Amino acid sequence: MSKIFKRVIDLIYPLDCRCLACGRTLYHNEHILCDECAAGLKPIEGRRCRVCSRRLYTEEEQDEGICGGCRRLTLERRVFGGSPFDHGETAARLVYALKYEHIIDAAGPLIPGMLNELPKGFDALVPVPLHVRRQRERGYNQSMALCEALGRASDLPILNALRRTRATRQQMKLAADERKANVSQAFEVIKPVIGKRLVIVDDVRTTGWTILSCADALYLKGAIDVRSLTATLAVVGR
């Protein structure tokens, strides 16, 4: 397509009128995704890890109900959490738009799946904070955007309990063995959490080290149960 032709098309059909996943022009009853792409956004199927909700592949994993990664962790380092979608295609596209393209509404299609996996009887949603500098660059925190949408749908309050003590590199860009060191002790607790049951909310769970680091900090300050809820699960090092 020539550049000029493309520009004309962009003017007639602005980007926010097109499906984020396939680019088709949206009908007036569609928002963010076209109906076909929305229907294709399906939760992870089959047997899943009871700790991180990853799909279980090997027979051994299926017998034990836990993935290899979680089995290697000692009991106190296992943060239980739901994660409805694989980090592929439509779900990954929504997360990307939410994170890098300032499209807050991209959280919308992810929320029903996340709500399904929200644990019962918890006190508050806790966003994973960005470092001040990154938050300033980006203008908002995608984890907070997910918390706000989940909060509206579930009536759970948001507790902005964590602060990043130092800038860390983006987990998705690091090798599996670098991720642990990258986020270890990167968070401090800035609100009272004694006796609270908390759900850490984030966009993607990769190795789980970010969530573990947040949970460690919250437990240390007296939280009694900490779970996680992420939109997607990225498979690393398999």
- Residues of this chain that interact with Zn ion (CB under 5 A) are 19, 21-22, 34, 37, 49, 51-52, 54, 67, 70
For 195: left if phi > 0, alpha if psi spans -120 to 50, otherwise beta; the answer is: left
Choose between 51 and 147: whose C-beta lies nearer to Zn ion.
Answer: 51
32 vs 146 by CB, closer to Zn ion: 32
Closest separation between CB of residue 197 and Zn ion, Å? 21
Residue corresponding to tokens 């047997």 = 47
How far apart are CB 23 and Zn ion at their closest, in Å?
7
C-alpha 27/C-alpha 185 separation (Å) is: 47
Minimum distance from residue 113 beta carbon to Zn ion (Å): 17
Within 10 angstroms of residue 22's Cβ, the number of other Cβ atoms is 14
User: Given the complex with Zn ion, which of 161 and 233 has the nearer CB atom?
Assistant: 233
Shortest distance (Å) from residue 22 CB to Zn ion: 3
Instruction: Kindly state the tokens that stand for 235.
Output: 């498979």
Nearer to Zn ion, 142 or 207 (CB): 207
Which secondary-structure segment (H or E) carries 147?
Answer: helix 142-154
Distances in whole angstroms, Cα of residue 173 to Cα of each of 84, 159, 177? 22, 28, 12
